[in-house]
Amino acid sequence: MISLKQKSPKLLVIGDLIIDQYLWGDTDSISPEAPVPIIKIGNDSTLLGGAGNVIHNLKALGADVDLISVIGDCEISSKAKALLTDINISTKYLVLEKNRITSKKTRIISSHQQVIRFDRESTKIISKSSQEKILKTFKKIISEYSCVLFSDYGKGIFDTKLTQLLIKIAKKNNIKVLIDPKGSDYSKYTGAFLLTPNKKEAIEATKINIKDKASLNNAITYLRNKYELDVSLITLSDQGIAIYDGEFRSLPTVAREVFDVTGAGDTVLASLGFALANDLNIDDAVKFSNLAAGVVVGKIGSATATLDEIIDYELDLNNSKSDVNIKTLIEIQALSEEFKIRGKKIVFTNGCFDLLHSGHVQYLEASKNFGDILIVGLNSNKSVAAIKGNSRPINSEEDRAYILAALEAVDYVVVFNENTPINLIKAIKPHILVKGGDYEGEKVVGEDIVNELKLVSFIGGKSTTNIIKKIQDTN
């Protein structure tokens, strides 16, 4: 994901624009008029939903986005246009259709629970005139985009004939079409790059009861073959996402805690489109969308996930696996650049850390206190032998790296082969370099590269050499 930073692909969203209103309150009594709770509204919020939420998710990821949709001549439409303008989305491709009501869903939330929802909308198929305007605009602008996303909420935009024409035009221009489908008849989506139905929707569309791996394989294969998709996906809630592109596999979910699944499908569609527009392969794109969905279901309401949130979420998920914090030079350089962009102070120290003892741990804890991220450069087996002789190290570089990476104070470990970590320091360019107190008054390798050098005194009597000597004397 770090490789996606600073990238802004141009994507086009076509779909049903919805206004999501949330009324937030508390309840502590029952109405005397009927056995229903009285909710005292404390505040309210109005957000873009439907295709608007797909756009919100794309904008949060850093994409450049345009929208084609149909709105009515009503007050809700005016609010929708204002919300689009607020997030710098052009309204020039919105088609106005008289006597139509733009969809608005109002939800009442009490104690983090959705109590009720009421809707006001038009759901009839848009007029022939509106369809012709969409088609004319699409033909004119399609070549500008890396990917097209169809957000079908069943509100009337995706007439079968129009949908098929749009897909064919996109394919003629070699543009991928990703669709969040609606209903049980997917024939209008034939020829799309991929669809993103959930398990329930896939069962309705295929008439296959998905209850195990075999039936899931049958359903996902049926969807790809029948509707001539490049890739067939089925989202499986807490069981992840299944993929079939000639080969079946399933990638696990990464959600830790679920508060609200509202808009999670929009996040999956948007993050898949963003990832594919940045040339990620389908497996990496699905992994990315899984992480994005994991972020948003931990929030209340139609939510979005930024790249920073996704990166933090993945790092947090991996905290229990020490080896994921052992990085190559290229990986740590990319991570360092990312942390600097986000205002994190990077601390660097290095050493052999052969037989880890309390002196090492306290030294590393003191080092971490100088900043936000502690990166430890670890001398390789070859490097240790060159410095300390052929009898060292006692422990292999793999074992030493893993133990260091498991320490709470250490964020990342990088193994280096040279006698000094100068190349590593040049790559990372840390803010602070930490060395032992025995370097007082001496020239320290890399101190001219960093902002500040810190010296930390070692605990007397604690050393690997002393431990080895004690073992030898015992024998």
Active site residues: 266
SS3 474: helix
- Residue 415's nearest CA partner among 358, 375, 359, 370 is 375
Contact 362, 459 (CB under 8 A): yes
Name, in order, each residue with C-beta under 8 angstroms of 350's C-beta and a sequence gap of 6 or more.
Answer: 376, 377, 378, 379, 416, 421, 424
In this structure, what token pair is assigned to residue 416?
Answer: 């280096």
- Sheet hosting strand 452-456, strand order edge to edge: 326-327, 412-416, 373-379, 346-351, 432-436, 452-456
SS3 361: helix
Between the CA of residue 422 and those of 1, 209, 318, 449, what are the distances in Å? 28, 60, 29, 9
CA angle 304, 307, 312 (to 5 degrees): 100
Give dist(CA 94, CA 434) in Å, integer.
58
Give dist(CA 273, CA 93) in Å, integer.
20
Omega before 393 cis (within 30°)? yes
Helix or strand (DSSP H, E) at 14: strand 10-15
Contact 297, 255 (CB under 8 A): yes
Residue type, 178: L
In this structure, what token pair is assigned to residue 389?
Answer: 């002789």
Give dist(CA 159, CA 140) in Å, integer.
20
- Residue 17's nearest CA partner among 112, 110, 109, 130 is 130
In this structure, what token pair is assigned to residue 140?
Answer: 């004119």
CA angle 74, 80, 83 (to 5 degrees): 150
DSSP per residue, 163-229: HHHHHHHHHHTT-EEEEE--SS--GGGTT-SEE--BHHHHHHHH-----SHHHHHHHHHHHHHHTT-
Residue type, 354: D
